[in-house]
Structure 1
Amino acid sequence: IAGFKVREGWPIGIKVTLRSERMWDFLDRLVNIAIPRVRDFRGLNPKSFDGRGNYSMGVREQIIFPEIEYDKIDRVRGLDVTITTTANTDEEGRALLAALNFPFKK
């Protein structure tokens, strides 16, 4: 696929599911450390729920996480984060994430 400069057999993505303590650690670092490091951050989009209480967001630069050393990466990459909740509606999901201090736009 020449337009994307990739070849057959090359890894192009990864999916990770976090549960229990690792999930809570990731969410804590995301909300309290990584998101505040985003330049010109104005809040998370409150409309990014899927209709069933699950939330998706994109991160343009993986370097907002302090564990990633800038001089050890070949290029800046982004990632998508989907938070699957037990909420049945977007309102319930929004209330849950707001209680976890997710900084939604007003």
Structure 2
Amino acid sequence: MTDTTAATTEAESTTKPQPRLKQKYKNEIKTALTEQFGYGNVNQVPGLVKVVVNTGVGEAARDSKIMDGAIKDLTAITGQKPQVTMARKSIAQFKLREGQAIGAHVTLRGDRAWEFLDRLLSLALPRIRDFRGLSDRQFDGNGNYTFGLTEQSVFHEIDQDRIDRVRGFDITVVTTAKTDDEGRALLKQLGFPFRSGEQTV
């Protein structure tokens, strides 16, 4: 072992532990995907790039408190300050002006993305009433997956007694997968409860 390697290993051991889901990916999932798709190079194995959490706020122009509530909820759910989404052009029939606030989003990378997915899969989704799994048909053709949640109350970070209004979110998981089949296999290994193709024990 070189001095550089030893120093790196020592530094890693003193930092906070890696997210649980990230460890599972490194220790189990990469091997499983390599066997499934026959990758010849470890760099071919699909991985997680980022997670984008987005909410639209159509009424924000008429009531700034609505936007404030969306930002507060997104911050609580993701642990990161959201970016406000502005309208790129004016649309008269929707009373929309260019530069008007229409939503907010957060982009999670690295450990924050892994930790968010872990909380989403292990805590939030099981709290959805009559949950029957996620559709596996909402991939974009390049291995990235988007799905919606109808209300913020499924996240335990949200105080149920202080919800100003029911607010839905779109969540996009961006991966390095080249195809939807690879992306689907990655997310299934991570624990995404897809309806289609689920095996019963």
The reply to whether TM is greater than 0.5 is: yes
1:93: how far off?
Answer: 0.1
Task: Describe the SS at the equivalent of 1:81.
Answer: strand
Task: Describe the SS at the equivalent of 2:171.
Answer: strand
What is the CA deviation profile of residues 16-71 of structure 1, one whole-angstrom value per residue up to 9, with x for unaligned ones?
Answer: 11011110110001111101111111110010100000000000011100010011
Residue matched to 1:77: 167
Task: Describe the SS at the equivalent of 1:83.
Answer: strand
**Residues 66 and 12 of structure 1, relative CA distance in 2, 3 Å threshold:** same
> Of 147, 153, 158, which residue of structure 2 is paired with 1:57?
147
Residue matched to 1:87: 177
TM-score by length of 1: 0.90
Distance 1:96 1:58 in 2: 19
**Rg (Cα) greater in structure:** 2
Distance 1:50 1:19 in 2: 20
Residue matched to 2:138: 48
**Residues 73 and 12 of structure 1, relative CA distance in 2, 3 Å threshold:** farther
Q: Structure 2 matches for 1:25-36, cutoff 5 A?
A: 25-36=115-126
Distance 1:15 1:84 in 2: 15
1:10: how far off?
Answer: 6.5
Report percent identity of matched pairs. 57
How big is the alpha-carbon RMSD for the aligned residues of Structure 1 and Structure 2? Answer: 1.5
Q: Which runs of 5+ in 1 are unaligned?
A: none
Partner amino acid, structure 2, of 1:58: G
**Of the two structures, which has the highest relative contact order with CA contacts closer than 8 Å and spacing of 6 or more?**
1
Residue matched to 2:74: none
Higher helix share: 2
Distance 2:59 2:173 in 1: 30
1:11: how far off?
Answer: 3.8
> Of 179, 187, 195, which residue of structure 2 is paired with 1:97?
187
Distance 1:70 1:51 in 2: 37
1:73: how far off?
Answer: 1.8
> Of 114, 127, 141, which residue of structure 2 is paired with 1:24?
114
Distance 1:95 1:83 in 2: 13
Question: After alignment, is 9-18 or 60-69 more displaced?
Answer: 9-18
Q: May I ask how many residue pairs the two structures share in their alignment? A: 103
Partner amino acid, structure 2, of 1:22: R
Higher strand share: 2
